[in-house]
Structures are given as structure tokens and as C-alpha cells.
A and B are shown apart, each in its own frame.
Chain A
Amino acid sequence: MPVKKASQRSFFGKALQELGEADESIVALDADLGSSTKTSDFAKVFPDRFFQCGIAEQNMMGTAAGLAAAGKTAFTSTFAVFATGRCWDQIRQSIAYPQLNVKIAATHCGISVGGDGASHQALEDIALMRALPNMTVICPADANEAYKATLAVASMPGPCYIRMGRADFPIITEEDAPFEVGKANILRKGKDVTLVGSGQMVSLCLEAAEMLKGEGVAAEVLNMATVKPLDAETLIDSVERTRCVVTAEEHSVIGGLGSAVAEFLGENGNQPMVRVGVRDSFGESGDPEDLMVKYGLTKEDIVHAARKAVARKQKKKGFLWRK
């Protein structure tokens, strides 16, 4: 059956425009990438409330902070790599510390950016945003969730980071499915291993779960769309039953979803865990699908990780890794 795909960016653009219609306090800022980030939809309808900032992201974040300090809800948009790394200090000092209503909606995350190569592939952005106090971090699984996340962050106080992809991602959630910031959704029940995914890796977790079924392994799939704050309750509830966990993200294994889950389980449990993600490396140019294979981000990689996790659970003791 052909999988239906859609663009998270387009759905974000649609949501932003709807927000603009409903609420005059919504403003948007972009850094010469509006046609890619889709803030151009908002700009066309609300030219007075859209501020083209040019290729000057630090100033964009500061300006957004000022607008928010004066009561506006400011959406800033650019590629994830620029939205986080290039202006991290501005986000820290002028947005997160004073807890302002700035919603950083970043597109072109991860390795699937493809041909632009390492300079444009954000693989550290979640780590950068997650480390900031007061910051909420959301990685929608598909376009429907990108739409819902955009609406959701507008009505919650404080700074938020929404991470979206460049390519069209498979639609795996229903339009009317619940979406709550800070709440993970269980997309598939299973008793043998918990697969925790974020972003487009959630769809691959579902495919991996189907493959694992053929091996007699019943995998549970959690869509951890909010990476911070982590939905510890849903995570514990699942891992308590399955007693082992795999995380999957289109991000470095350092500082992202895998780290968040490992930090939590390290302090609160002793379940075997394996992370699927980019192994402390920059990306490179290539076809997105080939890059996902080369950097270990396929459903097969998730299946392999699940087998390891299940085997460790059965072995019960000892380290997997020795020098």
C-alpha cells in the first residue's frame, strides 16, 4: 500500500496563517528563508505582522524577544541549524532566561536535508535547545502533528522549539488524533520492547515493529513528540512492562531524545537501552534515503537495536562493551 506523505513545513505554514487570523497578537519573523520555511503564507496575508530580518538570525531572535516582551506571540523561523547554533546565546539570554513567548519553528532538521550537506544538516539542535531552562522542545512525527504543535505552542506561555523536516514525511497520525505538549502517544502496544521515536523516526519505529513481529518480538511504539519535558509517566508505564527500550531519532545520539531517555532511566531504572541516532558525526551530501542508510537511521537499524536490547534483558547482567 503506498504511504501517504506530506510536508511538515506546509502544515506549519497553514497553522501559522490560521493563528494569525484568529489572534492579532501573533507575529512572525524569518531570515530570508520564508519560501522554504513557509512563513511566506503568513507574510502574504499579514504583511504588517511579518518581519523579514534578512540573513541576520541573532537580530531576529532579539527582535522577537522584544516583540514578545511587549505582549506579542512571536514565531521565528529559519533552518534548524541556524535557528539554534547560530543564535544560541540570543535564545539563552533574551528568550529563555526572561521566559518570553517566542516560538522557534525550525525546518530542515536532520540528515534528510540531503544534498546541502553537513553545513545545513542540524544534528545537534535538540541538544542545544534541551539544555536551556524554560525551553519546551517538540519534534512532531508527521505533518498532522506539525500543524497541531504549531497551534498548541501558540496557546502555551514561554519559549518553545519546534523541529521540522525538509522532506515529506509519511502521515502516521490521524487528523483528529489527540496531541498534547508533554504527552507521548502509544501508537502500538507490545510487551517485549519499547521503541521510543521522535520526528520521522516514529514512522520507522512502526515499520520496525512490524518486522519484529515476524521474529516473535512484540514491540510497543511510543511517539515522544515532546522531547522536553519528557513524558516520564508514559515512558515508565511502558518500560515497566517491556523492561527494555530503544530510542530512535534523526539527531546525534548525544543530547537528544536518546540522551533524555537514558538520563531518566539511568536515574530511575536499570532497563537495557540502545540508541538509534547519528553516532557523533557530521553528515554529508547525498540522497536523503541513502544518507539514512549510511548514518544508521533505517527500520533495519531499529530492528537490530531492538534485538540487542531484548538479548541484554534476557542475559540480565554484564556490560556489552569492553575495551
Chain B
Amino acid sequence: MPREDSSIDALKEKARLVRRHVIEMTCAAGSGHPGGSLSAADILTALYFRVMRHDPEHPEWEGRDRFVLSKGHVAPALYAALAEAGYFPTEELLTLRELGSRLQGHPSKGKLPGIEMSTGSLGQGISVSNGMALAARLDGSDHRIYCLCGDGEMQSGQNWEAAMFAAHYGIDNVTVFVDRNHLQIMGDTEDVLSIEPMEEKWAGFGWNVIVIDGHDFERIIEACEQARRCKGRPTVIIANTVKGRGVSFMENNPEFHGKCCSDEQKGVAMSDLEGCL
């Protein structure tokens, strides 16, 4: 399929646009989750503009790679990436959370092209990804499933049921990202309910574990390639990120987990996002 320029520089520019959309959308909506959207923006950009096989002109194409946003609250970043990729007009982004909008507060399957699963109640995305992966195996298709989870989300038990299941069935066409930004609503994950040691947990469940800087495009792409080459077991990429990445006053600030910025703050945010990170 035709692919836009996917050089590292082009990806950085796309990520900048995605971040600007996130701020504009959440400000227009007066609510939403900018912090986690910004920490995940580079991963989403790498997936939609370099890693994944997909065709915005044919969102239901059977051979496409699937993306499941387990951390459904960072829908603004996903919508921004989808719109930039051409799934729907970027103008529609500003309808986020409006009555009648296809851009629901959390992703709703069937409403908007490119949304593979309804999510929002945390902990469910890996199970769903496993099901999609088993279907691909039954159908003899080589497409892959990518799933993005939050780190706070790892506190949910269903993830570990799904982790055990994927390893048992040798599901190697699933790649899970853990957006390890260290913050959840009530503060540091290690203070709220410790999820560490992450690497050992996943390895203990039989997964191929890769740890990267989740804002380094080369590392994200390389990790996805490594996951593709890993046979017989699933891969988790623990992506160390910064919550609120790119907006000075949001970085590492749990306050902006689920709150948009004021008009004044918006000016600062947009000026922070004038150049590539």
C-alpha cells in the first residue's frame, strides 16, 4: 500500500502533530486524558506510520495488522494518529466527547473506522488481542496484533490470566506494549500498588521481554522487528516513557492524567509543541 515518508524525522514530525491534536482535542472537550496520551504518542506514531501493515482506505481489509488500545482512556492519541493516517478528517478530532460524535470518550468499535475494539474498562485488551491472534492462526493469516497497555493497568488480574494463556498457546503474533510512565491517578505506581519487577513478572509468565526507551523511534521499531522474529511465544515491550511528554508542565505530573489544561496553559503547551522533541 502507499506509505507516507516514514523516516525517523518524518515520524518525529507526525508525533508532534499527534501531540498538538491531543492538547487541542482535550481542551475543546474540556476533559479527557492528556498525560497518558502524550506518553504513548511516539509508540502510536511508530505503529501507525512505520510498523503496522494497514490501509486507511480499507479499514476492514482482512490482512491488516490489528491494534487494540487496552488503556482506552488515551483515545485522544489514538484518534489523532488515525486521523493523521487518513482514517477520517482531522477536523473531526475536535468533536471528541461531543454528543453524537464518533469520537467517544473511550474507543467504541463500530463507530469510527480503525477502532478494532471497544475499550475503557482496564485490563481487557490482552485477552481480546489473544483471541484475534488465535483467529489469525486458524485462518492462516500472517497479520499481527498490537496491544497498548498502561502500567497502572498491570494491577488488574485479567492481564495475568491473559499472559498465562498467550504463553500456553504459544501466541507469537501478539506484541504488547506497556506504557511505563510510572504514574497513575493517585500517584506513582510503586506507591499505589507496586507492579515491579515488571521484567521478571513477564519473563516468569513465559514472555519474550524487551525494555526500551518509549520515546526513541529507532528502539520502538527495532523492538517490533525483534518481536516479529520471536517464534513460539508472545512479546512484551516495556516502554519507559514520561507521562505528559512534550508539554513542560505536564511532564511527570499526575494532575494531568485525566484533566485538560486551562486556556493559559494551552498556550504554553502549544508553544512547547512547536518544534519536534
Q: A residues touching B (Cβ–Cβ < 8 Å)?
A: 27, 48-49, 51, 53-54, 56, 58-59, 61-72, 74, 89-90, 92-94, 97-99
B114 CB to nearest chain A CB (Å): 13
CB-based contact A51/B169 at 8 Å: yes
CB-based contact A72/B127 at 8 Å: no
CB-based contact B165/A58 at 8 Å: no
CB-based contact A69/B127 at 8 Å: no
CB-based contact B129/A66 at 8 Å: yes
- Other-chain residue from B120, B127, B133 in contact with A65 (beta carbon distance below 8 A): B127
CB-based contact B108/A69 at 8 Å: no
Q: CA of A93 to CA of B164 in the docked complex: distance in angstroms?
A: 22
Main secondary structure, interface of B, reads: helix
Which one, B91-99, B134-142, B180-188, is touching chain A? Answer: B134-142
Q: Please count how many residues in chain B sit with their CB below 8 Å of the partner chain's CB atoms.
A: 33
User: B258 an interface residue at 8 Å Cβ cutoff?
Assistant: no
Residues of chain A within 8 A (CB-CB) of B136 are 70
Q: Quick one: which of B80-99 are within 8 Å of A by CB?
A: none
CB-based contact B132/A59 at 8 Å: no
Q: CA of A300 to CA of B121 in the docked complex: distance in angstroms?
A: 46
Q: Quick one: which of B133-174 are within 8 Å of A by CB?
A: 133-136, 138-139, 157-158, 161-162, 164-165, 168-169
Residues of chain A within 8 A (CB-CB) of B162 are 59, 62-63
Q: CA of A94 to CA of B125 in the docked complex: distance in angstroms?
A: 9
CB-based contact B121/A63 at 8 Å: no
Residues of chain B within 8 A (CB-CB) of A99 are 110
Q: B residues touching A (Cβ–Cβ < 8 Å)?
A: 66, 68, 108-110, 116-121, 124, 126-136, 138-139, 157-158, 161-162, 164-165, 168-169
Q: CA of A97 to CA of B128 in the docked complex: distance in angstroms?
A: 14
User: Which of A61, A64, A70, A99 is packed against the most chain B CB atoms within 10 Å?
Assistant: A70
Q: CA of A70 to CA of B128 in the docked complex: distance in angstroms?
A: 10
Residues of chain A within 8 A (CB-CB) of B119 are 93
Residues of chain B within 8 A (CB-CB) of A67 are 131-132, 134-135
A78 CB to nearest chain B CB (Å): 14
Residues of chain A within 8 A (CB-CB) of B66 are 70
CB-based contact B128/A72 at 8 Å: no
Contact flag A56-B164 (CB < 8 Å), given A66-B128, A98-B109, A98-B117: yes
A-B contact pairs, 6 of them (CB 8 A): A48-B138, A54-B165, A58-B124, A63-B162, A66-B117, A67-B132
Residues of chain A within 8 A (CB-CB) of B128 are 62-63, 65-66, 69, 94
Residues of chain B within 8 A (CB-CB) of A94 are 117-118, 124, 127-128
Q: CA of A68 to CA of B134 in the docked complex: distance in angstroms?
A: 11
- Other-chain residue from B120, B131, B168 in contact with A62 (beta carbon distance below 8 A): B131
CB-based contact A54/B130 at 8 Å: no
- Other-chain residue from A70, A92, A97 in contact with B131 (beta carbon distance below 8 A): A70
CB-based contact B133/A69 at 8 Å: no
Q: CA of A97 to CA of B124 in the docked complex: distance in angstroms?
A: 13
Contact flag A62-B138 (CB < 8 Å), given A56-B165, A67-B132, A97-B108: no
Q: CA of A64 to CA of B134 in the docked complex: distance in angstroms?
A: 10
Residues of chain A within 8 A (CB-CB) of B161 are 54, 56, 58-59
A197 CB to nearest chain B CB (Å): 35
CB-based contact B131/A49 at 8 Å: no
CB-based contact A66/B110 at 8 Å: no
Residues of chain A within 8 A (CB-CB) of B168 are 54
B166 CB to nearest chain A CB (Å): 9
Residues of chain B within 8 A (CB-CB) of A92 are 121
Q: CA of A2 to CA of B129 in the docked complex: distance in angstroms?
A: 51
Q: CA of A94 to CA of B108 in the docked complex: distance in angstroms?
A: 10
User: Which of B108, B117, B127, B130 is packed against the most chain A CB atoms within 10 Å?
Assistant: B127
Residues of chain B within 8 A (CB-CB) of A68 are 131
Contact flag A62-B134 (CB < 8 Å), given A69-B116, A94-B118: no
Besides the known contacts A49-B138, A65-B131, 17 further A-B residue pairs in the complex with CB atoms under 8 A apart? A27-B134, A54-B164, A56-B161, A58-B158, A63-B162, A64-B131, A65-B117, A66-B68, A66-B117, A66-B129, A66-B131, A69-B109, A69-B117, A69-B132, A93-B118, A93-B120, A94-B127
A150 CB to nearest chain B CB (Å): 21
Q: Which residue of B lies closest to A24 (CB)?
A: B138
Q: CA of A68 to CA of B128 in the docked complex: distance in angstroms?
A: 9
Q: Which residue of A lies closest to B133 (CB)?
A: A66
A99 CB to nearest chain B CB (Å): 7
B170 CB to nearest chain A CB (Å): 13
- Other-chain residue from B108, B124, B132, B158 in contact with A70 (beta carbon distance below 8 A): B132
Contact flag A98-B131 (CB < 8 Å), given A56-B161, A63-B165: no
User: Which of A48, A68, A72, A93 is packed against the most chain B CB atoms within 10 Å?
Assistant: A93
Q: CA of A254 to CA of B169 in the docked complex: distance in angstroms?
A: 41
CB-based contact B135/A70 at 8 Å: yes
- Other-chain residue from A53, A56, A71, A89 in contact with B121 (beta carbon distance below 8 A): A89
CB-based contact B130/A63 at 8 Å: yes
Q: CA of A64 to CA of B132 in the docked complex: distance in angstroms?
A: 9
Residues of chain B within 8 A (CB-CB) of A66 are 68, 117, 127-135
